Amino acid sequence: MDLPAAAPAPVPPAQAGMLCWSCRGAVDPPDNFCRHCGSGLGENVPWYYEKVWIGVLTVFALGPFALPLVWRSPRFDEKGRWIAGALVAVVGAYQLYACCQIYEKVRMAMSMIQAPM
């Protein structure tokens, strides 16, 4: 009994530095999903971790609550993460300020409506 001539090459071990962005487990370059935690890799990273969508979510929906997305996103390097985090914090602080202004104007309008003649 002889071996077939074109035996498949053994799967090489995971290259050094190829780690899952979510769980830091070893992954192979062709993997689409982490074999440890199931997180998408490469093009399969969830949409809400993309830079553009973090910006959209920050401005229109989450405000400062988008900071965890910035922190967990595999799309930022260390410097970009700090810059994006600072931008999200500034936008969130402005949104909080604007909310306080709106609340104060509504409160003033309500007090004028309820004022005795």
Chain positions contacting Zn ion, by CB under 5 A: 20, 22-23, 25, 34, 36-37, 39
Closest approach of Cβ 28 to Zn ion, in Å?
12
Residues 26 and 19: their CA atoms lie apart, in Å, by: 5
Cβ 81 to Zn ion shortest distance, Å: 19
Q: Which of 39, 73 has the CB closer to Zn ion?
A: 39
- Residue 21 Cβ, how far from Zn ion at the closest point, in Å? 8
Q: Which residues pair with 33 in a beta bridge?
A: 40
Would residue 63 be called left, alpha or beta, if left means φ above 0 and alpha means ψ between -120 and 50 degrees?
A: left
